[in-house]
Chain A
């Protein structure tokens, strides 16, 4: 990013945490369809498995498998409130770097679109270490991060681009849409009363191989890894218990 000195905890507070707190409800209404690889990972768990969804957002992945027990956590209390509805699971407010769970205890963890919000390599690795530390020796974590290589997306980023970016979130005016005149084409809708508001969230866009490198840097092992729809993902297992 432009000014490296800015990165860190306070930076994330302003450019990640506060933004999600404000856009929680609107963000949640756009996040309902589980991605296939994540759905498969959760469906394949044996019944009675115990796990974590770290950075669970609105809890859309809590709905996938009712035969396992998941403690979801999110840094945003507004998102955690929305996630609370999914039985039989539970939700708490927590920071990925200070998770309230016993070490070496859980069968699985997922952390979807979370680690890329930490603003230094050191903090991202600490987050991955934090996830892997919750797992029992045979446990598995599925981690998803946004890719730099998303040439086919409307954002169009590719290999040569800056990896630390601010991504806009546009919250549309909340009043009912009214067409200005009967003749207006449907795409010229004017929203009366409330104007659009744009929020900017910080992201670190991962390069090919970078997620695997971060997992290995904290002693984790890669079980499987790949690319899906503008994201790099990895299934990792923990290092030997300390």
Chain B
């Protein structure tokens, strides 16, 4: 699953959802994969304001990836002379092309671990947790 997805996922347990500690989920034993995709500069520009930037920074730190800027990059920083800037290209690589292929996602509230296999996270809860 591409890293962008993690900005939109929390623990599936109802008792955790309203708890700030349940977002973002924390990757564990994550195996990353780079999958090249065509860049859509407009998509990156449109999606950025919708991201929880703090959660993105936490994620990149926990995965040992290069640090992100302190604040969400502005529109001006995404283009140079009408072409996508290096910042935009880096964001495309990080959000769209970097994927967790296998590992676990851990809730910071209840510590439940969700498995990621073949690039898909599984949020089905064992019956005693529902």
Contact = CB atoms under 8 A, between A and B. Distances in A.
How many of chain A's residues touch chain B, expressed as a range?
20 to 34
A66 B43 contact: yes
How many of chain B's residues touch chain A, expressed as a range?
35 or more
B10 to A, nearest CB: 5
Contacts of A98: 12-14, 123-125, 130
B123 A95 contact: yes
Contacts of A75: 124
Contact of B43 (A67, A71, A102, A105): A67
A47 B42 contact: yes
Contacts of B123: 73, 92-95, 98-100
A94 B124 contact: yes
Contacts of A92: 1, 5, 9, 120-123
A67 B4 contact: no
Q: Which of A9, A47, A90, A106 has the most CB of B within 10 A?
A: A90
B50 interface: yes
A66 B4 CA distance: 15
Contacts, number: 98
A83 B121 CA distance: 13
A101 interface: yes
Nearest to B95: A88
B46 A90 contact: no
Interface of B: 1-2, 4-5, 8-14, 17-18, 23, 37-38, 40, 42-43, 45-47, 49-50, 96, 114, 118-125, 130
24 contacts: A47-B43, A48-B46, A50-B8, A67-B40, A67-B46, A71-B8, A73-B123, A81-B118, A87-B96, A88-B37, A90-B5, A92-B1, A92-B9, A92-B122, A94-B124, A98-B13, A98-B124, A99-B123, A100-B10, A100-B121, A101-B9, A101-B10, A102-B10, A102-B23
Interface of A: 9, 47-48, 50, 66-67, 69, 71, 73, 75, 77, 80-81, 84, 87-88, 90-95, 97-103, 105-106
